[in-house]
Chains A and B, each alone.
Chain A
């Protein structure tokens, strides 16, 4: 079972895979954090549409202050594996 599924307690299968990668921010935040939220979500979309490579995606995440982007991506791919495994 993937970590996402363990945390939420059920197998989460959103219509839009970006829901598994997107980030939110607090209401009171700095302009930098706001720009980071937009940039990270846009990069996730671009990555899902193969407009940027995995390496570029990781670079963008790291550039906006996500310390270990590989871990994040691993969790995502584990969850996708789980969903695909259930379908087959």
Chain B
């Protein structure tokens, strides 16, 4: 061990002590410390409704619908802006619910137990303007306000390819407007469907 390591210890000492103090806390004390930094009122609670999603690439003109839950239209409260944008973007990729496409007469519905739908997650990231203290090291940082909402989606028309749908969603004007917001700090995530 050289002087460099000793120097590094001295410069980081305050944060290291804070870290050790954090580790010594009981779970309940940690929860309290957590709540002191996190704004619980800002936590997203998405209202969800029952709807149908059609898995990608069904043969011919047949649409098969699986029951699932999607974010409801006209949300209120924390994260409602993100949820409403998400519903607008995915309007034609969700069926059988007000705001999405209606189910046609005699539609084939399957009550699947474990199907994993393709999902789109939108995250709005509003950068912090004042520095907040980290709950673990007490380092000061700009804590962003983050709202994240996820919705399953499927094909809009029969025999639609998953990659084509993802490209179409990414190219839509509402999507482009959302990801350019907050100086491009907003995030998004597509996850593929599976069984």
Q: Which residues of A contact B (CB under 8 A)?
A: 9, 16, 18-19, 22-28, 34, 37-38, 41-42, 44-45, 48-49
Question: Which chain A positions have C-beta within 8 A of B34?
Answer: 9
Given contacts A9-B31, A16-B116, A18-B116, A26 and B191 within 8 Å (CB-CB): no
Name the one of B30, B116, B190 contacting A38, with C-beta atoms under 8 angstroms: B190
Q: Is the beta-carbon distance between B186 and A27 smaller than 8 angstroms?
A: yes
Contacting pair B187 A26 (CB below 8 A): yes
Contact B178 A45 (CB under 8 A): no
Instruction: For residue A57, give the distance in angstroms from its CB to the closest CB of chain B.
Output: 14
For window 175-191 of chain B, which residues contact chain A by CB distance below 8 Å?
178-191
> What residues on A are CB-neighbors of B121 within 8 Å?
24
Which B residues contact A (CB, under 8 angstroms)? 30-31, 34, 116, 119, 121, 123, 166, 170, 178-195
Could you tell me if A25 and B195 are in contact, using CB atoms closer than 8 angstroms? no
> How far apart are the CA atoms of A27 and B190 in the complex, in Å?
13
* Known A-B contacts A9-B31, A24-B121, A28-B180; A41 and B192 likewise in contact (beta carbons under 8 Å): yes
B194 and A24 contacting across the interface, CB-CB below 8 Å = no
- A-B pairs under 8 A by CB, number: 59
Given known contacts A26-B185, A28-B180, A28-B184, A41 and B190 CB-to-CB distance under 8 angstroms: yes
Query: Does B166 lie within 8 Å of A27, measured CB to CB?
Result: no
Contacting pair B185 A27 (CB below 8 A) = yes
A-B contact pairs, 12 of them (CB 8 A): A9-B34, A16-B119, A18-B191, A23-B189, A24-B189, A26-B185, A26-B187, A27-B180, A28-B184, A42-B192, A45-B192, A49-B195
Tell me whether chain B's interface is mostly helix, strand or loop, or mixed. mixed
- Find the residue from B30, B191, B194 having the highest chain A CB count within 10 A: B191
B-chain residues with CB within 8 Å of residue A9 when the two chains form the complex: 30-31, 34
Residues of B within 8 A of A28 (CB): 179-180, 183-184
6 further contact pairs, Cβ within 8 A, besides A27-B186, A48-B194: A18-B191, A19-B191, A27-B178, A27-B188, A38-B166, A41-B189
- Contact at B123–A24, with CB atoms within 8 Å? yes
- Cβ-closest 7 pairs across A and B: A28-B184, A27-B179, A24-B189, A27-B186, A27-B184, A45-B194, A24-B187
List the B side residues contacting A16 at CB < 8 Å.
116, 119, 191
Contact yes or no, A25 B187, CB < 8 A:
yes
In the bound complex, what is the Cα–Cα distance between A9 and B195 (angstroms)?
29
Residues of chain A within 8 A (CB-CB) of B178 are 27
Nearest-Cβ distance from residue A7 to partner chain B, whole angstroms: 10
